[in-house]
Chains A and B, each alone.
Chain A
């Protein structure tokens, strides 16, 4: 019942979780400072093709959780498995998009998108065709030969998105991907991401501290507590995202309000933790 809004995509979905996070804790050790417990006893199941938002105040460890799932930092306590296999290192099944784009500044838009494809073993013509397709999908046709330094923030993030989508990962890890963009660009990118995801659903884990963004995009919203980060609650979000007026609806406003109430308390704790 809770997935009403996505009936057409649920046909291929199973209830078997694709990603299992089991009792994961993580201690962050700054180079010169005392260790901090960043994540404590996180357990989370993520189903295939669902859009999950990890929502929490800055510094609650939500990005750390994403990096652990990505295999970028070693898992010390607990286990994470993807498709039944334990995560030990990064892989092309888990594409990542970073807040600050992480484009190779010495490569053009085309070469950035081609980078991941070079490792796929596809013939050259095929790679060029795929790159063209995804550059077109994100609306950057005509900018293939531009370097990142010549692009706006929105265009940089489109390039990064095209680069990650081009290698067709099962899972998309997004680390506050629109956090560095201005408000209008951010909203356009959210709509575009939703469009792309609805036409070719993937499992998405989307880290954000923006409640509206989470409510607008996600199937489920995992609200995280202030440090040490724990999963405070998981909210099923069954709003109809195909509705163009969703933003203005009463239901949307209420959902944002409910979740904001959950997050506010944690955000205030973080503020307190910083000033004390």
Chain B
């Protein structure tokens, strides 16, 4: 019930959209009625286009994100706990951080071609940074007394990293991953729009250039919904993981 009230503004916008285009207040070319978009969505689903391209996109995003979590978390924790890693990686991370990662789209294409590889690499490069920074800050903040407690109970240095530093870093690491999750969708869709032969971004681009705007809107809304659902699911996961903070 509260959720229904919470999302009421979205419903109002949908109604306004439908009314505006039905009453010809806006060009139906620029904004086809929402009902047409729904029909186009259904057709895309039936033809299988939405599913095949959706799977292609999710695979790229999933693989890129998975790799970036593994590598980003390791880099961040290594930087916090091992000085040589900090010396080598620190300036690299600093220099890369403010750079718009979409500038790397042509570069990854030159390296790995038009297929999945270039998208996965792009997402990996882009998402690694917020994750590494989150892991680094979290690991740096781990309480000296906890580290000493673990050591005095017989944990080796390496074991202590796993027992104390990794869980201490978890809250900030999860925030970094959440940022990366949103970023992965941005990078995915923009790289697919520019250079790809499959994926939801590719579908948006090709439908748009064919003039099938209702179908194009259908895919745009689908991408928005997937992004929203992924973030929600991640939040639920995050709350479960951080139960101990309440």
Q: Give residues in A with beta carbon < 8 Å to B.
A: 67, 70-72, 89-92, 94-96, 98, 100, 102, 104-107, 115-116, 119-120, 147-150, 167
CB<8 Å pairs between A and B, sample of 20: A70-B152, A89-B151, A90-B148, A90-B151, A92-B152, A92-B154, A94-B152, A95-B152, A95-B153, A100-B145, A102-B143, A102-B145, A102-B146, A102-B149, A104-B146, A104-B149, A105-B244, A106-B244, A115-B150, A116-B154
- A residues near B146, Cβ cutoff 8 Å: 102, 104
Measured as residues with beta carbon below 8 angstroms from the partner, the interface class of chain B is 10 to 19
Query: How many contacts A-B (CB < 8 Å)?
Result: 59
Closest CB-CB distance, A88 to chain B, in whole Å? 12
Q: Which 5 A-B pairs have the closest CB atoms?
A: A102-B145, A116-B153, A119-B154, A90-B152, A90-B151
Whether A106 pairs with B148 at a CB distance below 8 angstroms is: no
B244 contacts A147, C-beta separation under 8 Å: yes
Per DSSP, are chain A's interface residues mostly helix, strand or loop, or mixed?
loop
Q: Is the interface of B mostly helix, strand, loop or mixed?
A: helix
- List residues of chain A with CB within 8 A of the CB of B151: 72, 89-90
Report if B246 contacts A (CB, 8 A): yes
With the chains together, A150 CA to B145 CA distance in Å? Answer: 20
Determine the distance from Cα of A96 to Cα of B145 in the docked complex, in whole angstroms: 10
Is the Cβ of B148 less than 8 Å from the Cβ of A102?
yes
Contact A167–B244 (Cβ < 8 Å): no
In the bound complex, CA of A120 to CA of B149 (Å): 15
Contact B154 A91 (CB under 8 A): yes
**Pairwise interchain contact A115-B245, C-beta atoms closer than 8 A:** no
Considering the chains assembled together, what is the distance between the CA atoms of A91 and B146 in angstroms? 14
Given contact pairs A96-B148, A147-B243, A149-B244, A104 touches B154 in the complex (Cβ within 8 A): no
Additional pairs, 20, CB under 8 Å, beyond known A70-B148, A90-B152: A67-B148, A72-B148, A72-B151, A89-B151, A90-B151, A92-B154, A94-B152, A98-B145, A102-B143, A102-B148, A104-B164, A105-B244, A105-B245, A106-B167, A106-B170, A115-B163, A116-B153, A148-B244, A149-B244, A149-B246
